[in-house]
Amino acid sequence: MTYAEKLAARIGFETLDYDDEAHWACRGVPGDVCTRGYPMARVDTDGTEVPRTVELHANPPVDCFFIYPTMDWQPFFAANHSDFEELDLVKGDIDTQAGPFSAACRVFAPFYRQGNIGAYATDPENGVFYFRRAFADVAAAFEHYLRHWNAGRPVVIFGHSQGSMHATFLLHAYFDGNRVVTDIPGSASTAELRDRLVAAMPIGGLFFVEQGKRAGGSLQDIPLCAAHEETGCVITYRSYPEGFTHATPLVRGAAELLNEEGFSFAAFEPDRHAYACVNPAVGPAVPVDRVTDGRGMAVPPGDVRLLEGTWLVGLFGEIQFGVDGKPAPRDFPRRYTAACREDDLAGGYLAVGLHAPPGGDPRGDPMDIDGVVAHAALGLHLWDINLAQGDLVDQVRVKSAAWVEK
């Protein structure tokens, strides 16, 4: 039995049938949610808008397997989302967060019976029941992808929020350690799959490492990325405005219980582990005297870098730029900065500031990092991916080229 089959049998859960095309948003083919192209306006530092389109890669050398965040916002009871009749919201998220990566990779994105918001609000032991079932679907979808579409190709594992949690579980189950996990030739062992891992991007979750090290927490054998061209490594962060220091982790109890069932390498121990942050920015370093928080205050010293591609597009662009109820996509290069910082309550997180060049910047603060939403408990969580989307696409592009050449 494969890992997914064993998991489903152990928890008494029948996974979705991923032979059914209706259970996939993106299958790496023209005409699906992720292959429509992405017209937007680039808003330059002088305020000039220049039309542009994120062009799809004609023959991408790698695949991206994407797991979307919590899109079932029913707060009053815990459940697995099982209604696939109305998928506009889920498709909108996949279109927004994963689709632009078709500029660098073939994107595969399954639907799955995720835990709803109520699963986070319940007690950890009850919440684990729903997250365990959700991951069984994700594992079954991944094995279907391996069996029918991967054909030995290099792959990026990518998820946001709840999708980040499942991406981490997927990495541990199929890429970490040294075990046989499938019956697929060339993809049977974790070591074989790890050799084909271009990068992992569990974004907006609770990924952690041993203090002072690049691995040894959520994963054993897959380290944090230390260079733009490095492959087989992890880019991860949770984003908050500069100056906002209440980045308290959520649902840690459920994550620890899931670890006890084998879904991650280690359970989080405050004296031993730290939540990880890898800066996704590919832009140059910028002096801190040219960076402010959303309130115009100076930021502390650190390795602060410019974000080259803040793509406020689709679902998340609409929050800021709705025009007659329709999204107005915008790209704001070098408007925002990013720095990994430490929070006494939560460890590493990504602090997002405003670039303050001489003479100012007429573009204002389109992401509203001084807004009520940004300074609530989740910080910039809704924009974790979009604030650095152009940078992340570039990370995939550069790491893919490095993997192919090695």
Q: What is the residue-wise DSSP string for 335-389?
A: SEEEEEEEETTTEEEEEEEEE--TT--TT--TT-TTSTTTTSTTTTGGGTTGGGH
Q: Of the ranges 133-137, 219-223, 252-256, 320-324, which one carries the lowest mean pLDDT score?
A: 320-324
Tokens representing 362 are 């007429």
- DSSP symbol at 14: P
Q: Of the ranges 188-192, 253-257, 380-384, which one carries the lowest mean pLDDT score?
A: 253-257
- Torsion, Cα of 349, 104, 327, 23 (10° steps): -90
Q: Specify whether the CB–CB gap between 332 and 223 falls below 8 A.
A: no
Instruction: State how far the alpha carbon of 216 is from the alpha carbons of 209, 228, 238, 267, 370, in Å.
Output: 5, 21, 19, 10, 35
Q: What is the band of 153 on the pLDDT scale with cuts at 50, 70, 90?
A: very high
Q: Of the ranges 136-140, 244-248, 271-275, which one carries the lowest mean pLDDT score?
A: 244-248
- Could you report the per-residue pLDDT of 379-402, keeping only the tens digit for each? 899 899 999 999 999 999 999 999
Residue whose C-alpha is closest to residue 112's, from 183, 174, 162, 157: 162
Give the mean model confidence (pLDDT) for residues 99-105: 95
- Could you report the per-residue pLDDT of 81-95, keeping only the tens digit for each? 998 888 999 999 999
- Within 10 angstroms of residue 270's Cβ, the number of other Cβ atoms is 9
Q: Specify whether the CB–CB gap between 106 and 198 falls below 8 A.
A: no
What's the pLDDT at 375?
A: 80
Q: What is the band of 251 on the pLDDT scale with cuts at 50, 70, 90?
A: low
Give the mean model confidence (pLDDT) for residues 160-188: 96
Flag whether pLDDT at 14 surpasses 60. Answer: yes
Please count the CA atoms within 13 angstroms of the CA of 16 that sit on its side-chain side: 27
